[in-house]
Amino acid sequence: MPSRPLNLKVRRLWRAALIVAALVGASDSASVAGDLNLPRFVSLRADKVNVRAGPGVQYPIVWVFVRRGLPIEVIAEYDLWRKIRDRDGIEGWAHRSLLTGSRAVIVTGNADSHVLYRTPDANSTPVALVESGVIAKLLSCEPDWCRVKAGNYRGWIERTYLWGVYPSERSID
């Protein structure tokens, strides 16, 4: 009869282990979606990203992005899939593994080029001219200016000439 209490202890240990595993699994799946704000900007991790009509491989590919580092806006989440939108308003679903939190921006505006300045002041020393359409790495932002890296140049550009950062954003992660 001594084996019966040991059996009961083993069953209780297994039951406790299963409960802990279920709790850990539930918290992991909850963190897959919903931990980050929506909408938010991210960028493409891969050189080629298939954008689908819905959140899953069973949905047809409706668009293919072919530019690593392209800034994209995440507007919805479903499990491991993110509904994304580009600066032209094209929307679709991409797997989260194809996106990165690294921030990038696209230089926009009607002018052919814009000045990067040494400090966030239009009267400071110009560092470089960047053409509209250039993708730059976003380094930091102040209320009206953002610091970017475009090619080998680092400088400040007016926030109004950038797509990939919200007007109210202050800290860039």
Query: What string of H, E and C letters represents the secondary structure of the chain?
Result: CCHHHHHHHHHHHHHHHHHHHHHHHHHHHHHHCCCCCCCEEEEECCCCEEEECCCCCCCCEEEEECCCCCEEEEEEEECCEEEEECCCCCEEEEEHHHEECCCEEEECCCCCEEEEECCCCCCCCEEEEEECCCEEEEEEECCCEEEEEECCEEEEEEHHHEECCCCCCCCCC
pTM of the model: 0.77
pLDDT at residue number 102: 94
Lowest mean pLDDT of 20-34, 76-90, 159-173, name the range: 20-34
Residue 154: pLDDT band with limits 50, 70, 90: very high
Q: Is the pLDDT at 43 greater than 60, yes or no?
A: yes
Q: Which two tokens stand for residue 83?
A: 């509904």
CATH class, range 105-163: mainly beta
Tell me the pLDDT of the chain averaged across its residues. Answer: 84
Percent of the chain with pLDDT over 70: 79
Mean pLDDT of 105-113: 92
CB 94 within 8 A of CB 82: yes
Within 13 Å, how many C-alpha atoms sit on residue 38's CB side?
A: 12
pLDDT of 30 reads: 31
- How many other C-beta atoms lie within 10 A of the C-beta of residue 68? 16
In what order do the strands lie in the sheet containing 126-131?
Answer: 126-131, 113-117, 153-158, 145-150, 135-141, 104-107, 162-163
| Local confidence band at 35 (pLDDT 50, 70, 90 cut-offs) | low
Among 20-24, 62-66, 78-82, name the one with the lowest average pLDDT: 20-24
Tokens in use for 163? 């797509």
Confidence of residue 172 (pLDDT cuts 50, 70, 90): confident
Confidence of residue 12 (pLDDT cuts 50, 70, 90): low
Q: How far apart are CA 155 and CA 42, in angstroms?
A: 21
Q: Which comes out higher in pLDDT, residue 167 or 23?
A: 167
Superfamily grouping for domain 40-102 = SH3 Domains (2.30.30.40)
